[in-house]
Structure 1
């Protein structure tokens, strides 16, 4: 054979064999991954092409075990469709084939986290061509809302790394990530200043719970810091983030300065007040002890406060607050100065009571010692009469007499006030205050009270008299600041005049009360009452006479009928028996003969029936 012919035959055979091989190839295309939430339904699509057509291929589905081995779960050819028994997917998968497009869809219902596996679609043609594709099924579960819990007790800046708090997020898949933040900045640092210790728990459902514990060495600046956690987790097609609430921690740090002040009273302090001292350092170490020192005295503060009660001017001066840190024995102090204002009792000169003659002049002064400017005023009977330290009373009269009150006030301090009183007696003859009721009308046999108000000093002597020189009884006598008030009771039996007579060593005065007796009329005159009484008696007598006449007529009628005995003896009276009661008549003779009870049969009744 010619070499060229042989070469041509060989070349043609190669082309023929190559063509046969190309016709037998199966092409399979699948997505790299399919993502789905736990509990949802997943669909894994397998696209293939083959010259044999759908009737000349077999379809098989597998999943890859953790060991790397394949586990068949489905088989299909032109004659049968078989779901493998005894696999985790036996009751949860279906396969749909679309011949026109060469699409095979594996559907898995109620996807669980254990279904996160690699799935294989195997297409085999009748000419022994095989195609294979792989897809990873990724399962996701959104975790519960994260929680954060801070360390409840304070942390000292002297301590090493201390626990700040914990964050926890539960039931996520895949595992959520926890990041700590302080004031919106993520926390990072060396282990000697900060530690974050995570712990992961796999729940029975296969979900992950993550707990993260933050510890760090705190500084004074951390007292105002806000800590929180950021949790990131995967979802189909992306990443999500959720943050916890913020927490702060109590940081104990030493003071660098101490401030002392008076909390109350605000403003000026007066004697008798209670002073409330406060002392505070710019640190907050619980080991700090505060004390107050003043003039050799030392007072222990409670809750950084001390109350000094009922102060006097002797309490004025400087007060020092000392803060002692019992951990380091360092001392810091702060001071404040107070001044206690005072107002001494008022003193009036001359000391009362003061006696002055009518027409004379009297001068009195009122003074008080105070640390502040004072205002002085004089009062009598609640009315202001003068302003200033001096009171001048000119041309004294009985109206001048009485009690005067000196009031000294510090206007700029509320409640700072003192007062003193003194009495004035004006000497002079009695002066009877004219009464508006000296002419009085009263009923006969009544009693009237007469009142006489007499001014004068010394206190006048008062007597009550009548024009004929008789003395009236004084029922009451009250001594006043300017004299005497006397009262007498008079029984009104006729018109009369009563005199109020007042006298002292300087003279006398009198006042007359004229009383007119009034006779009041009664509603029923006495004579008419007697006439009405006689008329009643006469009417009673007439009625009695009429009754006696009627009784006599009845007796006479019975006598005529023979129903009653004569005057000479006793006779039975008979009467037909009544259908009702028996009649019994008791008769006595003019000679007081024995009474006889007669029945209807005329027989004498025994005494027992009477």
Structure 2
């Protein structure tokens, strides 16, 4: 009975298995590609459908070798999960299976360039249903910032063949970056006038470095052109772009004209100025440039010529000549320069001696290329304008130094001057100081000054009342006379005399010095200024003292202690109930008279 039952069950199972094989099929789907940056983590998903449970499936992962063969890296069934040994993924992969969603995920950590391969997900059911899917893993690396270098030498325009402009380089990108050249924001395409040579280097890291060189048939217009490179590179999910800084190139092209002008000074030029010429052609070609003035040639550096401290002899035409160093052809341009001048001032006469009351004229002239203005100054003040100076009714005040200043109003700072020295003859005249009476303490020293006008310069001698000659401390001759000073040591009252004389006469001045014993002498003028204030203070103090004295006397009177005659006798009389006694002191008779309450005199016997 049991044997028959077992045979029946086995036959049924075989039937069921044959029926399942007819309709049970595993299906797998995967993305075409998975993109990731180098060093990141990649996740490759394998979606499957199967009527078998997860325990009835065998899951395997492979990658495709460069030869096309498959290399297994992972195996899983109902009983085990195995990562294959000795592959490049052994230590970096992990597989997760989600039965509910039918998803198998292969995770690869720290993706490297060599991981850019095709991966196979193979799923097999117990009923021999097998399906697989394939995904390519793409790895990316951003390149370094690109660099650009222009040619260091200039480029000649209108050459028959392209000239090298510069090179661009971008390093360490994956996949290989692309370089495009631009001129003024317009991409340059390879043509007869444009040549681009690119080279690629695979670094030891497996990354790509690209270098591109641009050659171009340069035109004159390229002197202001900007050249730069655009680098494009792939990243996961798209494309990125970066640019270099723009560069300019030096373009050599021949001149068609030469220009020369005075850069400085602006406006009119005067003797002593520095002239700066700007001299160059309108081309940009290696050339020799010089300036010619008469038979004199000046070398031009950096298109500039500087002539310092010019004179009127440097007026005239200046020719700027530019010679092409390739063709030796010359071009020139011209400019005219005029250097204005102002000759030295001539004053006639420049020295004059006059008697008091006389009249005299002086003239002042200076030759100039421009209109001039003439003015006369004395002691910093303008005293006359015009070429002629009139001196009338001269006095000692007229004597002195007169400056004739000639200016050119059209040019700032263009002026010259000369002087006229005027001496007025006459007897000495001492200018009396404000104070000649001086008080000084004994043993001090006082400085006395004496200003004497007159011409010829007076002789000054200092003396005292006893005929002693004092030694002069200093003596200075001035335009109108002499200034003399002497130092006197005060030992007692003294009178010092300033004696001045010349061939026309003499004059004298006396200083009265009073010697005082005070530690500090007060100058007379200070005494006078302070005397009024001192007197007022003394009066106030006296009034206060009198008031105090009166109060004391009244107090003593009340106490009955006022003395009698001449202060020698005491008044000791008792006060009566009705009489009050007042003592009247008379200084002329020294008698004391007793007065009654009503002012009546008492008999002398009552005293």
Fold match by TM threshold 0.5: yes
Structure 1 pair 209–389 and aligned structure 2 pair: CA distance change class (3 A): same
1:462 Cα deviation (Å)? 7.1
1:146 Cα deviation (Å)? 2.5
| 1:171 aligned partner | 172
| Mapping of residues 25-174 of structure 1, within 5 Å | 25-50=25-50, 58-78=58-78, 81-99=81-99, 101-125=101-125, 128-157=128-157, 160-174=161-175
| Mapping of residues 6-25 of structure 1, within 5 Å | 22-23=22-23, 25=25
| Mapping of residues 567-578 of structure 1, within 5 Å | none
| 1:381 aligned partner | 379
More off after superposition, 211-220 vs 363-372:
211-220
1:369 Cα deviation (Å)? 0.9
| Mapping of residues 516-555 of structure 1, within 5 Å | none
| 1:3 aligned partner | none
Structure 1 pair 35–361 and aligned structure 2 pair: CA distance change class (3 A): same
- Give me the whole-angstrom Cα distance separating, in 1, the residues matched to 2:63 and 2:315: 94
- Give me the whole-angstrom Cα distance separating, in 2, the residues matched to 1:117 and 1:170: 23
- Give me the whole-angstrom Cα distance separating, in 1, the residues matched to 2:42 and 2:213: 37
Contact 1:406 1:421 in 2 (8 A): yes
| 2:597 aligned partner | none
1:207 Cα deviation (Å)? 2.3
Q: Answer yes or no: is 1:236 the counterpart of 2:233.
A: no
More off after superposition, 371-380 vs 262-271:
262-271
- Give me the whole-angstrom Cα distance separating, in 1, the residues matched to 2:444 and 2:124: 146
Contact 2:428 2:507 in 1 (8 A): no
1:315 Cα deviation (Å)? 1.0
- Give me the whole-angstrom Cα distance separating, in 1, the residues matched to 2:124 and 2:446: 145
Partner SS for 1:221: helix
> TM-score w.r.t. structure 1 length?
0.70
Q: Answer yes or no: is 1:188 the counterpart of 2:189.
A: yes
Contact 2:428 2:500 in 1 (8 A): no
1:343 Cα deviation (Å)? 0.6
Partner SS for 2:222: helix
| 2:6 aligned partner | none
- Give me the whole-angstrom Cα distance separating, in 1, the residues matched to 2:355 and 2:386: 25
1:390 Cα deviation (Å)? 1.4
- Give me the whole-angstrom Cα distance separating, in 1, the residues matched to 2:339 and 2:453: 48
Kindly name which structure, 1 or 2, has the bigger radius of gyration based on alpha carbons.
Answer: 1
1:150 Cα deviation (Å)? 2.9
Partner SS for 1:114: helix
Contact 1:73 1:83 in 2 (8 A): yes
1:239 Cα deviation (Å)? 1.7
| 1:288 aligned partner | 287
- Give me the whole-angstrom Cα distance separating, in 2, the residues matched to 1:282 and 1:327: 16
| 1:513 aligned partner | 510
- Give me the whole-angstrom Cα distance separating, in 2, the residues matched to 1:339 and 1:510: 61
- Give me the whole-angstrom Cα distance separating, in 1, the residues matched to 2:99 and 2:468: 151
Render the CA deviation track for 1:541-584: whole Å, top value 9, x for unaligned: xxxxxxxxxxxxxxxxxxxxxxxxxxxxxxxxxxxxxxxxxxxx
- Give me the whole-angstrom Cα distance separating, in 1, the residues matched to 2:140 and 2:393: 112
| 1:326 aligned partner | 325
1:361 Cα deviation (Å)? 1.9
1:435 Cα deviation (Å)? 5.4
Contact 1:452 1:500 in 2 (8 A): no
| 1:5 aligned partner | none
Contact 1:440 1:514 in 2 (8 A): yes
1:334 Cα deviation (Å)? 2.5
1:304 Cα deviation (Å)? 2.3
Partner SS for 1:23: coil
Contact 1:472 1:488 in 2 (8 A): no
Which stretches in structure 1 are left out of the alignment for 5+ residues? 1-17, 523-610
Which stretches in structure 2 are left out of the alignment for 5+ residues? 1-17, 520-607
Contact 1:258 1:279 in 2 (8 A): yes
1:181 Cα deviation (Å)? 1.9
| 1:358 aligned partner | 356
- Matched residue pairs, number? 499
Q: Answer yes or no: is 1:416 the counterpart of 2:414.
A: yes
1:463 Cα deviation (Å)? 7.7
Structure 1 pair 38–22 and aligned structure 2 pair: CA distance change class (3 A): farther
Contact 1:321 1:334 in 2 (8 A): yes
1:290 Cα deviation (Å)? 1.0
Render the CA deviation track for 1:88-121: whole Å, top value 9, x for unaligned: 3344344444455544433333332222222333
Structure 1 pair 284–466 and aligned structure 2 pair: CA distance change class (3 A): same
- Give me the whole-angstrom Cα distance separating, in 2, the residues matched to 1:369 and 1:157: 56
| Mapping of residues 238-317 of structure 1, within 5 Å | 238-285=238-285, 287-317=286-316
| Mapping of residues 599-610 of structure 1, within 5 Å | none
Partner SS for 2:419: strand
- Give me the whole-angstrom Cα distance separating, in 1, the residues matched to 2:496 and 2:244: 106
1:517 Cα deviation (Å)? 7.4
Partner SS for 2:23: helix
- Give me the whole-angstrom Cα distance separating, in 2, the residues matched to 1:377 and 1:236: 90
1:339 Cα deviation (Å)? 1.2
More off after superposition, 310-319 vs 106-115:
106-115
